[in-house]
Amino acid sequence: MSRAEEIFKPALVGKKIPILTLDNKWHKLFTQKEYTSEIKRMESDLNQLLKRQGKVNEECKELKKLKKKTMEEIVVLADEIEKTSSKKLEKQMEEHRRIVNECNEKIDTCEEEMVELPRQINQLNNKLMVATMEVCYRKLKKNTAELEEINAWITNIRRELKKKVVRKQEKEAMNNQLYAYMHDIFGADVLEIFDMKFNPEEKSQKNEESVKKNAESEAESNENGEDALKS
């Protein structure tokens, strides 16, 4: 028993597992790379067992029909032999009995196989389930590790963003204060002479308007792209 079977098999005890290869969702669990040779082999073997089960079941039904028909003919032959015995009728009776005996043997074989096939199908289906769980848990583990990395990156970026926002606000406050002091000390005329056209409040407002305009332009572009895809 493999390590995976030791881990997952106890969870399957007493559980009715649907036939995996008959479930379309099961096929969507794997990428082409994850669809291993072992899983392919088990899938093929399981499908062969299912086909065999259907074939044996149909053969058994046909044999029972043939037996029933032959038994009915035997009753008719027996009546005829009782009235008029002949070698031809005796030969026909013998052939009918042979057919019935042959049907009985084949029906017994089919019924034995019909008992054994579900056990084999269930056993192989459980093995395929274990192999499937192994692949899925490996994928879940990998995805979880990547998610943790992404979450750590997002947390770090948020922390840095908060620092940058605080720094930005400090610089804006400092510029506003410097401009106000210079305006009070030197006056607007002097500042104009020295080409001091930098007004922190106006510049901040322009930056905000520029950011807003870029965001609106990007949103409009995305909408146009979606409309193009729909058309």
pLDDT at 113 over 90: yes
Distance, in Å, from the CA atom of 176 to the CA atom of 162, rounded to the nearest integer, reads: 21
Q: Does the reported pTM lie above 0.85?
A: no
In the predicted model, is pLDDT for residue 23 greater than 60? yes
Residue 160 inside a domain? The answer is no
Q: What is the pLDDT of residue 12?
A: 66
- Work out the angle at residue 99's Cα, subtended by the Cα atoms of residues 98 and 105, and round it to the nearest 5 degrees: 90
Q: Which two tokens stand for residue 222?
A: 């995305």
- The pLDDT value recorded for residue 124 is 94
In the predicted model, is pLDDT for residue 48 greater than 50?
Answer: yes
Q: Does residue 179 sit in the same domain as residue 91?
A: no
Domain boundary among 130, 155, 180: 155
- Residue 181, token pair as written in the block: 């002091």
CA 30 to chain centre: 7
Q: Does residue 140 sit in the same domain as residue 217? A: no
Cα(94)–Cα(107) distance, integer angstroms: 20
Residue 125's CB is within 10 A of a number of other CB atoms, namely 21
Give me the pLDDT at residue 9, please: 65
Range of the domain at 50: 3-155
pLDDT of residue 54: 95
Residue 70 or residue 6, greater confidence:
70
